[in-house]
Structure 1
């Protein structure tokens, strides 16, 4: 990005964790996209922030502001290593100069609400510069800290089993709003983030450009390996091939959730315009172009898509495919009455796939009791 396009916006206030329970956030009005590749009111507010910029861009901007080139490296370190939320926080810069650039936005969010589950999973409501609320989730383990990040405010896909789409869609997230989620979780835990999953609010491939830039920033500037990142998509025509052209090293996770076209379009409205056979064809192209296998996510819904015939159909689709199936027992939401399958049904589904030589695992989502699990995210106050 050229130095001339860097920020002149009003700075964000320092983030603070609310001590008191926040007021409920009004549900956004649903926005229906006329075309999947052009969702209505998709773009973030037009302003640039320092966060999300490369070392080269930050250096060019500092020089344009009359500062020596080495200040660019200092700015980069304070943004990505020390988590500066304002230029006023960067005490190595001359005080007089900091006063001159007081209106420049770093691009950090405010923690609106924070809730911790018994398993250590933390769900964050983050307030953006324009007042919109998004969610991020931090999931610690013995050796890792994984962050589930959002790519949009809301989601236009309206999958029937997912809470996020029930609240409608407002806009895409800017690059700095994606990067900020990782830095916020990292700071709150006091631990470096090791893994990132783009499985929060929104459909990442409806915000491909900003998501790709964010991935490169998180890799090159924050220092997280691309091989430790997973991008989850329900499938947008042409976007998986576009992603393949970027030659990223991330894991692509495609949300199937059904073993046949009729069942899939009942669960995922966009599937009517994107047949399963076409989606799988694009996934095969992705494997050829990148040399990386595809993970297929499959939410198990009791009595609906967890039957032996479903496993047989799924195996038939994936025969000879460089892939892995990730089964996710359904996580309940209040808007629909789907049921979580029994452990016996889950084991039987796994056995059916394994007998047909399909690589498979079961993912039990964390943060379930705090509505922080897969499919449960929504921008509302945590009860």
Structure 2
């Protein structure tokens, strides 16, 4: 079997890259170790930066997103019970975010893949990568009980933190940077109307809380919990009661509660590997970096990786610009580290850390007061939240 680009992983980043390449006439094959239903069942991010929204339109999969997604011009922050609205649209020259669940993004991309006739193979658990330093790397796997060898020009590793792509890079090549946070987010999904038209980020003495949504009838809420907490110890009633304690009285009074569709605890950490490429293998998304969800950057960073690799490959195949391939990692990492900084900063600013002393507490209060009370501070937060621009490939 032969192709131009072998894409490992059929999550949103792999599917988006495949869709963009397919529309450009660049043949690609996608391999996924899980079933399509499993991929669709993942409950993940739902806040899309302006850049990702634009990229989905470029890929021809933006129609349902614009019809069913919620465009948000602002976001609210709650500090010591005081509500402050951040005018994203006004502070960034008209840029916004769109609330549209990762599941729906994936569903749209899967449908586009089927419509295009692109080759996607699910439930392929034994993928292995070979000859990454050669002019023609190979991917081996089993399909319908038969061994298959896929020969390609380049490999895109979109298979997440636990995938085979990063693990296929020889020891000593990658440098790892990591920060593990001493708490997690307990999240609850429910078929209840959102408590507010825009997201609410709340800093409270009991811990952080977030009021988010997936649609006008489906809500997603989070509360900060210790790493020793267990999901089974949190009944729906206990979750709703705790969430109400961390919200202003007028917001808590409007909260519509209901049975949970899903509850889970996600630990928070920051993770980056450098470089994001080895030979003809390129890492994208969670295979190369993870951010705490506070800044809503995880899925969006994967999209910016996709944009960078796609535009480089366009110039490779159309103009012979193979010199650009060596720049992939550096271009991506400039934006990734800015997003890591923003996510770390938001996490530090809004959560309760067990080692915070009275001095640190006063510093954090002063910083929040400055950010929310200053035009420059508000603008900085807003431009990072809606997403920094993608770097041009020249």
Could you state the TM-score of these two structures normalised by the residue count of structure 1?
0.21
Higher RCO (CA 8 Å, separation ≥ 6 residues): 2
By percentage of residues, which structure has more helix? Answer: 2
Could you state the TM-score of these two structures normalised by the residue count of structure 2?
0.21
